[in-house]
Amino acid sequence: MTQPKTTQLVSALAAKIADKTARVGIIGLGYVGLPLISAFTNAGLKCLGFDVDAEKVELLKQGRSYIRHIPSERIADWIQRGVLDPTSDMSRLSEADALLICVPTPLNESRDPDLQYIESTARSIAAVLRPGQLIILESTTYPTTTRDVMVPILNKNPHGLVCGRDFFAAFSPEREDPGNPNYTAAGIPKVVGGTDDASGDLACALYAHAIVRVVRVDNAEIAEACKILENTYRAVNIALVNELKMLFDRMGIDIWKVVDAAKTKPFGFQAFYPGPGLGGHCIPIDPFYLSWLARRQGMSTRFIELAGEVNTSMPRYVVSRVAEFLNDRSRAVRGSRICILGMAYKKDVDDPRESPSFELMELLLHQGAILTYSDPHVPALPKMRHYHLPAMQSSPLTAEFLASQDCVLISTDHSAFDYDFIVQHSSLVVDTRNATKHVTSHRDRIFRA
């Protein structure tokens, strides 16, 4: 293919993007994919939604949501207006002008990056790839993944199409804050880096329709490293306050009041808060991509490794504190009735990914506790890759139920919980989130962990 042909392909796709006739394919219809669909459809573009989970696809076709902050009414509106066409048929990937990959990137058992979902998605695209398509990876990963992992797979397509000549590739890290109405997918600036100038231009033009601000960087590697830096920064600082919490607990100092005092400084300090462990897809996982990459370069990332050790130790610390508080009441963990409040990884969402609540549950079960949980956003305990827990349903927080528990452990501080009511009817409340700070009565029943 000659250079003028490439120019024609770029011009044709740029024109489609400019007049909003470009069809956007979103691969992975989860906590990243659905908000992106919302952003693009609101901007006047039509979307194809791809997911290997046929149950999700069927729910979307019926106008039903499975993510709390994306209401069913919005899904139904997309379907009714014909701006979203959900499918599990990967042969239809060729119908999209731009394909955005939003698939999971977990760690394997040895805490190395597991790119199987990116690789399988790239193979599916390669099988039906056509000239002039734009492929954008959004899944969080380590620097060089787009160029060295995804693009070579795409280049193995049956038609001999070559990236940068016949099709285009870029990386733009997902930035999501589920449950926070102030930061929607459309309202968070988007970092974009192409594998070449044309790819970067096309990706920026596409996102400019739907996102409040597009931040162009020199290449895909900078965009990939940007995301890792953002989440490693948070992981290290959370580890710092978690470690200080353990120290200050021993000294009888309230870490929450310390942080509140420190954040009155208008410069040089950003508040981070302790908790029972890290949750969500990003912070517990992404820094390990960087430490893995450093090992490949013959280096060690001591801050990251130490932060990982501190953060992953927090569930065990919480369980040890629960055991202490029960022991003060002449009870052992074994045989005690313990209710965990909150299985989602953060406040007011239904996302259980990497939630420390599952680790707490497994540790407490191993010590012989009689466990229940309550979470208005997680009505049934989902199956998790790394945990083998019994089937369980969320328990209603009645006065009788709370009174029957030896300990109520607050792991996720959902707004829906009535903390005054919970403390009033419980004999022991262990609070890992400072959720009970405004409770004024029966404070002798509340302990921090």
> Would you say 414 and 342 are in contact if contact means Cβ atoms under 8 Å apart?
yes
Catalytic residue among 102, 204, 226, 282: 282
> Would you say 54 and 45 are in contact if contact means Cβ atoms under 8 Å apart?
no
Buried b (16+ CB within 10 A) or exposed e, 157-182: beeebebbbbbbbbbbbbbbbbbeee
> Would you say 154 and 126 are in contact if contact means Cβ atoms under 8 Å apart?
yes
Q: How far apart are CA 425 and CA 397, in angstroms?
A: 10
The two tokens of residue 435 are 């959720």
Q: How many Cβ atoms are within 10 Å of 189's Cβ, its own excluded? A: 11
Order of all β-strands in the sheet with 429-431: 370-374, 337-341, 407-410, 429-431, 446-448
282 is an active site residue: yes
Q: Alpha-carbon dihedral of residues 111, 116, 121, 127, nearest 10 degrees?
A: 150
Q: How far apart are CA 44 and CA 137, in angstroms?
A: 22
Catalytic residue list: 282
